[in-house]
């Protein structure tokens, strides 16, 4: 029977020990061994039922069941699990959750809205990586009145200091005397991207709230409150992952193999 090989960072994240990104840092820094061999290649795979995997000399625990939480992050809360500056974090808002989860992406300190927390590394990776193109929609209040030309520029892509953005979807949903309300949908995840895009067309953001992410919708969840996803929502996330990986991953894996980046522990 063929052995079931899984990437190390995924195995580590599944135990709740660290997020996928932190797990990658553990590997690169030489703190992970498989069958006594230090591994530092991020493409390394292993069989969790047969291989002996250790992090900092301790055996990797069994994977925890997957948990999915939706939080309505309020303004002035860090979308991280800790903050060296002592500011409030989302960890303060999910007290009572016994399984360790991690935020999927971030919202700025002064932004609000839908934040997914999970220990499912596959879901997190698919929602965040730009190659999967998962839509994220924001309700945005901007200074000034957005013109049709502004919208055309945003929908074509605007040049930022880190390059051109992918085309966005922009829809006017309301206006005040001196401001505009918009729905902006992007399929990337650069730092402060929506704010920078709107500033690039001359409209600073006054308020930003994420209302949708992939198949998830914030709905009427109160600010500062969280809930577990319904079975239907969790299944929709897993189906999204299955479809996107089926389309994108074979090509990425082939590229990695051609560069010698994938190491298999036997």
Q: Which residues are catalytic?
A: 108
Write the CA distances from 114 to 47, 87, 138, 212, 225, integer angstroms.
Answer: 35, 19, 9, 7, 10
Cα angle value 141/145/148 (rounded, 5°): 110
Q: Choose among 201, 142, 131, 140: nearest CA to 166.
A: 131
Nearest-angstrom CA–CA distance, 213 and 9 = 24
Tally of CA atoms within 13 A in the half-sphere of 190 that contains its CB: 14
Nearest-angstrom CA–CA distance, 259 and 231 = 40
């Amino acid at each position: 029977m063929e052995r079931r090989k899984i990437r190390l960072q995924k195995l580590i994240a599944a135990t709740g020990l660290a997020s996928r990104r932190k797990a990658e840092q553990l590997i690169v820094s030489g703190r992970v061994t498989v069958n006594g061999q230090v591994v530092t290649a991020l493409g390394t795979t292993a069989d969790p039922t047969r291989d002996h995997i250790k992090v900092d000399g301790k055996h990797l625990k069994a994977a925890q069941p997957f948990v999915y939480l939706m939080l309505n992050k309020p303004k002035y809360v860090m979308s991280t699990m800790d903050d060296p500056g002592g500011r409030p974090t989302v960890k303060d808002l999910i007290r009572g959750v016994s399984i360790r989860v991690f935020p999927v992406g971030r919202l700025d300190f002064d932004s609000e809205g839908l934040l997914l927390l999970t220990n499912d590394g596959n879901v997190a990776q698919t929602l965040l990586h730009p190659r999967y193109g998962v839509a994220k929609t924001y309700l945005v209040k901007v200074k000034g009145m957005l013109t049709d030309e502004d919208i055309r520029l945003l929908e074509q892509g605007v040049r930022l200091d880190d390059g051109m953005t992918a085309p966005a979807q922009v829809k006017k949903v309301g206006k005040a005397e001196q401001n505009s309300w918009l729905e902006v949908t992007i399929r990337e995840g650069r730092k402060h991207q929506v704010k920078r895009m709107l500033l690039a067309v001359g409209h600073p953001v006054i308020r930003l709230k994420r209302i949708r992410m992939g198949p998830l919708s914030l709905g009427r969840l109160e600010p500062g409150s969280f809930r577990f996803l319904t079975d239907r929502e969790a299944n929709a996330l897993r189906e999204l992952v299955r479809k996107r990986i089926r389309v994108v991953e074979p090509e990425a894996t082939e590229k990695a193999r051609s560069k010698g980046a994938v190491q298999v522990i036997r």
